[in-house]
Amino acid sequence: MRFVMALSVMALGAGCAHSPKPAGSAQAAQQLSAEAEQAYASLDFERCAERFRASGEADVEGPDRAESFYRAAGCASLAGHADAAVDVLKRAVQGGYYDADHLEYNPELAALHPLPAWSGIVAEARANLAKAPEAPFPTFTLTGLDAFGSRKVDRETARRVLGLEMGKPIVPSSAVFKQKEAALREQYGLLYAHVSMSVYFADERKGTAFVVMDMVDAEDAARVRFLPEPKGHLADPEGLVARWNEYNQRLQQLQVQGKLDENSTCKVTHCIGGFGHPDLVAFEPEFLAKVPQHLDALTAVLREDADPNKRSAAALLLAYAPTEQETVQRLVPFIRDPDSGVRNNVLRVLTATQEAATQPLLDVAMVADAVSLPHSSDRNKATFLLSYLLADLSPEALKAQRAGLIRQLGETLVAMSALQLPINHEPAMLVLKQLSGEKYETADEWRAWLARQPKTAG
């Protein structure tokens, strides 16, 4: 499977070197920023703007100060205070903020575009960019948009509600996305609506972005049947979760900077980026040595910890169990974790493990059920997993599964085959070819094939 990075909101730093600052001011600024992030997540834009502005004022100088003022401007704009947003945005660019493309295409700042001060702010950011020591995070071009899961909302309707333009630069905003999701749920009576965005850093799709609007109609409630929310607060066994998160943070930095070797590997079946870079090489020996000693503790974190970030890390660490069977046994109960990020990691490890296997490791019915999950990252991994599982079945077992899977998944797979995001339509094509013995390449051809299949009940 190709590696893509899914984005929600990107709070990008100004990219300048950090200057030393008093410990007290740094601590105060960090606390204020954390409070601002909480307000942002709950769409409390008044408090978000006030806390980010206070964080910038508590900082002494440098990119964190400029970034805080920039984030304050976005929140003030979303709160309807355009003049206040302009004032704090001026402070951001005067303090060195230089990600001019992010500023120009940030939907949180769209209300400021007609104001007289806007062009000068953009020009000052571009002047800062010309003097910047390194390039900011790239801005991607919207290349594809998919709407999936609802009989009421098609792709064009989703595009209109989201306010997106194909072929234009796109900057994701989790706050704006949440507002659009709420609008869709209310207008069309949806049980679930979620926007996600995937971007490509490499290959022929480098610089492209794909947006997916996942939806669930009210009558399809079974698709959002999840495990109860965990409530515990468990210890991190020998600091493995913290070490994994440290590895993952450094990995993503290298990925964004284009310094990650795409051929880098790991010593277990699942890799999100390998350990070949000198900054990463020390991590894997630690995981290999320590994870087998703490399998029960990591499984308990996955089962019981209230923090989805800890559960997500625990799922990835369980790839380092001594055998593929034990990895599968420990992860399968959590395919329907209530958090999409945790489900994503559970399914990606299971998928990689089955891909490397030579015999079926999971139950076909359980995997087929996961294909109905609501989020695109659920479905694409579950469908890849199903493809690898079917490939390891005997011809007789595959034949016995064929009719039931076509009845259960035929419509879903054909709909997925029409999606634009490659990682979403490619696994559907693979499974359709396995079930049919045909080699069609378009959704229309698969739709016609499905129409010819017997409509046997059961």
- CA 415 to each of CA 382, 429, 454: distance values in angstroms, whole numbers, following the listed order: 15, 10, 19
- CA 196 to each of CA 211, 214, 239, 268, 418: distance values in angstroms, whole numbers, following the listed order: 6, 8, 31, 29, 18
DSSP type of residue 258: T
Listed range (42-51, 104-113, 254-263, 435-444) with the worst mean pLDDT: 254-263
pLDDT at 8: 33
CB 222 within 8 A of CB 158: no
Half-sphere exposure of 145 (CA within 13 A, CB side): 20
| 117-131, 194-208, 269-283: range with highest mean pLDDT | 117-131
pLDDT at 37: 96
CB 101 within 8 A of CB 139: yes
Residue pLDDT, tens place only, 134-143: 888 889 999 9
Q: Cα(312)–Cα(306) distance, rounded to whole angstroms?
A: 11
pLDDT at 62: 66
CB 362 within 8 A of CB 385: yes
State mean pLDDT over 190-218: 93
User: pTM higher than 0.85, yes or no?
Assistant: yes
CA 190 centroid distance within chain? 22
Fold agreement (10-130, 140-224): no
State mean pLDDT over 432-439: 96
Fold of 140-224: Ubiquitin-like (UB roll) (3.10.20)
Written as one string, the DSSP assignment of 18-55 is PPP--HHHHHHHHHHHHHHHHHHHTT-HHHHHHHHHHH
pLDDT band of residue 457 (cuts 50, 70, 90) is: very low
pLDDT at 311: 98
Q: Is the pLDDT of residue 415 over 90?
A: yes
Report the share of the chain in percent with pLDDT over 70: 93
pLDDT at 180: 96
Residue pLDDT, tens place only, 238-291: 999 999 999 999 998 888 777 877 778 899 999 888 999 999 999 999 999 999
pLDDT band of residue 61 (cuts 50, 70, 90) is: low
Report the share of the chain in percent with pLDDT over 90: 84
pLDDT band of residue 10 (cuts 50, 70, 90) is: very low
Q: Cα(23)–Cα(35) distance, rounded to whole angstroms?
A: 18
Task: Locate the domains of the chain by residue range.
Answer: 10-130, 140-224, 226-338, 358-458
CB 346 within 8 A of CB 335: yes
Residue at token pair 């999971």: 362
CA 26 centroid distance within chain? 30
Q: Cα(216)–Cα(30) distance, rounded to whole angstroms?
A: 38
Q: Cα(234)–Cα(131) distance, rounded to whole angstroms?
A: 47
Has domain 10-130 been given CATH number 1.20.120?
Answer: no
- The alpha-helical segments, DSSP class H, found in 131-274 are 155-162, 174-188, 240-256
